[in-house]
Amino acid sequence: MNRLKTVLKDRSGQGTPMILAVVVCCLILACVVFEYMRLMIVAQGVRDSVQSAIVAVATENWDEAYPGLREGYSGGYQLSGSSWTKNVTTGNVYDRLQQVLGLVYEDGRYLKYAGPDLEYRFYDLHMELENAPLAPSVPEGITQLNVTGTVTVEVPFSFGFGHLPPMQITMKLNAKYVPRF
């Protein structure tokens, strides 16, 4: 403790490198924190946009799944000859996202640019529709129109001068029709 007091009271300038090292460490730590916040904001924005598109798909199919019948006794089916076929569709989510987010299609992936720099990559969107049953045998076990999807998002780091691999997240999203009582 006495040695620290002597170093601090010493006016010869020997404490300057230590102060500079502390300041540089604080700056690097701040850059890492700000980069983490940027990555989370980009990922949250993409997740919200894809979730909105999946909810829109569920809303578009609601009309096919429950066409004026009691909600617990119908699904998105159409009579074709003597059998019932599913009458629900996943829609064109990529087109919707391309318009909303301003994505550019390159090499099988959708890209978002912030000026000349790549902001994120968006690919492998898979959607699955779980149709409501036509006439459930067990009313307590009624499944509803359910849309699930996964998407992979890559966000390149702006910190690390291109030496770090991009952050890659596979997001799982879900939307379902919930009847009002």
Q: Domain map of the chain by residue range?
A: 16-176
How far is the C-alpha of 143 from the C-alpha of 137, rounded, in Å? 11
The encoded tokens of residue 115 equal: 């000026």
H or E stretch covering 56: helix 16-65
pLDDT in tens, 136-172: 565 665 566 677 888 888 888 877 666 778 888 898 8
pLDDT in tens, 28-39: 999 889 988 988
Total residues found in the chain within this entry: 181
**What pLDDT, in 10s, does the model give residues 113-138?**
888 888 888 888 888 777 666 665 65
The residue-averaged pLDDT of 41-51 equals 87
Task: Give the model's pLDDT for residue 79.
Answer: 61
